[in-house]
Structure 1
Amino acid sequence: MPRLQPVYLLAMPNALLLDIAAPAEALRIANHQQDEIRFALHYVGTQPSVATSIGLCVSPLDVLPDSVPDDAWVVVTGTVEKALPVQTFRDGMPPDIAPAPLPDAEAQAIAWLRRIVRPTHQLICICTGALLAARAGLLDALACTTHHGSCDALRTLAPGARVADNRLYVRDGNVWTSAGVTTGLDLMLTLIADATSPVCAAAVARQMVVYARRAGADPQLSPWLEGRNHLHPALHRVQDAIAAEPAHDWTLAAMADIACTSERHVTRLFREHAGVAPVDYLHRLRIALAREMLGNSQLDLEHIAQRAGFGSSRHLRRVWHKFDTLPPSRARGSAG
């Protein structure tokens, strides 16, 4: 049976709809890409229905539950000051009226976050959702970010926080914050990769036709996601196959067979769309696999080399130094 991962998504009045829909859609797709974890979404709010940034209403919402499971993800989405005015008429009736936000909705949400969020939870703030978390005192002394237009406001609300500009997202312990709008999807892809596997996250990204990006100070992308920011289906087939079995005895001919093309052309596809030669792409994933085993197992380097697809520890070391100036021994116990 798959393990359930509860996700509580807080939707406030004037919620930015993309902050809700994009991460939720990524989780939906992730549920269909693997069988180990099922993301169970719970939509919560200060009232049963709220109007979003573009006038559409989100309902039904569970009104601020008294408790959430210890392992839950709590997602706080952003809002806009001025929502798109929308009026609809049906059968000559007066226009629909969006549910009016409660006057103390923000205060209720702040009190709820302050009461609910624990170190066992993952607190995920998308866009200006970080401002609500700051008002709840949940970002004190933490590194964080938000929409570039709200960084100064975040500094005012959380003077003890280390607010980073020009970041797609920031993690500090169990607290994640992201910049504006679409970066919530970048953040969710990272969370999906951590919870399931980088291969699953890459499949979700491909399904949504979006790939993880980096801002100047962001950590390096996972090797499993690098080189996937393209739309060439044949190359994606090859990359999927390599990612599924990086230790397989991959030859250029085998890659060409999967791509249904020639060896020369598959080399051209890798260079043009992934920016690397086929062997370098393969080595990158094998080194990533070796790094994970170094961090999460007690296997000696010789066994790790064999399981990662290298002929020997000597071969592993030689390839390793193309990607890292530090020796493999420094990666022991440091995965994640």
Structure 2
Amino acid sequence: MSEKVILVVGYDGAELLDIACVTSSLDIANRIGANPPYRTVLATPGGHSITCDSGLRLHAQAALERFNAPLDTLLVSGGLGHAEAASGQLLVAHVRRLSTLARRVASVCTGATVLAEAGLLENRRATTHWMYAEQLARSYPAVRVDPDPIYIRDGDLATSGGVTSALDLTLSFIEEDHGMALARGVALGTVAYLQRPGAQAQLSMFLTRCSSDDLVVRRTSNHIVSHLGDDLSTATLARIAGVSERHLSRLFLTYVHETPAQYVRRARTEAAAYLLTSTALPVAAVARRSGFGTTESLRQAFLAHYSVPPSRYRLEHQPSDTR
């Protein structure tokens, strides 16, 4: 093929970022030397314009049912309209048809629902936006749903988590197609982190804040992730929150399903995992920055949380060009 055709499947209620993260990254790849270049095509039912979640309208470049050109990658976008899209028999049938013409098949976010409805995820490991993972697993029991990773590559099939994980997945495609140097150039062009490991959790406490409905839990969890090196004993946290230790523990178990101590340990472990994969700091320095008193404490936490020691975790998750 003189070019790599990437067919992006859109529909009413698709998430604009799910589409743009892919198309913009591939456009940057072309501008800095992708050879063969990418040609992205937005295909929709009937070739009609679609209204995205945000209310913006996108003009299609092809009708899904009439597309028969040579195809490198079939990618289904996600969005709030994913369930309705998956209920459309013609859309699903043509996704299934086009999957047989593509070298690889992928979905972004809740686009996994369409792939599952088309039978393309049966007995395959897949992910989706963490908020919809339980629903996907319940609706399609033959799919091995893992809600944690940013993206999962299972042979010629790839699925990604929520929204901007589309960028991470696309960078992995660019690296596969053209090498790490070009992927790094695209990451620089998008001011993106190259590269978050696909196995990194979508819902990391180090990168997000607790969204609990309980104000005490939310404030305490935000204090924890912002002060990992401080004294975070339950007694200290209870004093900061202005409640008893017993009441704080009861609130955390109710809203987070962990004790305060367990939450602190997990937050520190995820922070250490981020530092191990994004910096060259020695393990001892990582332990100090993430709030562990000793490297042995860090090691025990990693064995419990990731089943590997910190040094092994770093080796397995560092960018491929540095291995």
With normalisation by structure 1, the TM-score equals 0.56
- Partners in 1 of 2:101 and 2:71 — Cα distance? 9
Number of residue pairs the alignment of both structures matches:
208
Mapped pair 1:113 → 2:101: no
Structure with max Cα Rg? 1
Gaps of 5+ in 1: 83-101, 220-272, 278-322, 326-336
Say whether the 8 Å CA contact 1:77–1:125 is kept in structure 2: yes
Q: Deviations over 1:158-207 (max 9, x none)?
A: 21121112100001111100000000000000001101111101010011
Say whether the 8 Å CA contact 1:131–1:154 is kept in structure 2: yes
The corresponding residue for 2:229 is none
Gaps of 5+ in 2: 202-277, 283-313, 317-323
SS in 1 for 2:23: helix
Q: Which moved more, 1:159-168 or 1:114-123?
A: 114-123
1:157 shift after superposition: 3.0
- Partners in 2 of 1:133 and 1:209 — Cα distance? 30
1:61 shift after superposition: 3.6
- Misfit runs of 4+, over 6 Å: 102-105
The corresponding residue for 2:269 is none
- Partners in 2 of 1:216 and 1:72 — Cα distance? 22
- Partners in 1 of 2:27 and 2:108 — Cα distance? 18
Alignment of 1:92-241 (within 5 A): 106-118=88-100, 120-214=102-196, 217-218=199-200
Mapped pair 1:75 → 2:75: yes
SS in 1 for 2:193: coil
Structure 1: which amino acid aligns with 2:98?
Answer: I
- Partners in 2 of 1:213 and 1:35 — Cα distance? 19
Structure 2: which amino acid aligns with 1:205?
Answer: A
The corresponding residue for 2:64 is 64
- Partners in 2 of 1:177 and 1:193 — Cα distance? 16
1:136 shift after superposition: 0.8
Structure with more helix by fraction: 2
Structure 2: which amino acid aligns with 1:14?
Answer: G
Q: Which moved more, 1:32-41 or 1:190-199?
A: 32-41
Structure 2: which amino acid aligns with 1:56?
Answer: L
Q: 1:212 to 1:162 in 2, by over 3 A?
A: farther
Q: Deviations over 1:272-306 (max 9, x none)?
A: x95369xxxxxxxxxxxxxxxxxxxxxxxxxxxxx
With normalisation by structure 2, the TM-score equals 0.58
Q: 1:216 to 1:126 in 2, by over 3 A?
A: closer
Structure 2: which amino acid aligns with 1:170?
Answer: I
Q: Deviations over 1:231-260 (max 9, x none)?
A: xxxxxxxxxxxxxxxxxxxxxxxxxxxxxx
Q: Determine what percentage of the aligned residue pairs are the same residue.
A: 28
Structure 2: which amino acid aligns with 1:129?
Answer: G
1:149 shift after superposition: 0.8
- Partners in 2 of 1:16 and 1:324 — Cα distance? 35
Q: Deviations over 1:81-111 (max 9, x none)?
A: 59xxxxxxxxxxxxxxxxxxx9998322111
Say whether the 8 Å CA contact 2:7–2:71 is kept in structure 1: no
RMSD between aligned residues = 3.0
1:121 shift after superposition: 2.5
Q: 1:215 to 1:202 in 2, by over 3 A?
A: closer
Say whether the 8 Å CA contact 1:53–1:79 is kept in structure 2: yes
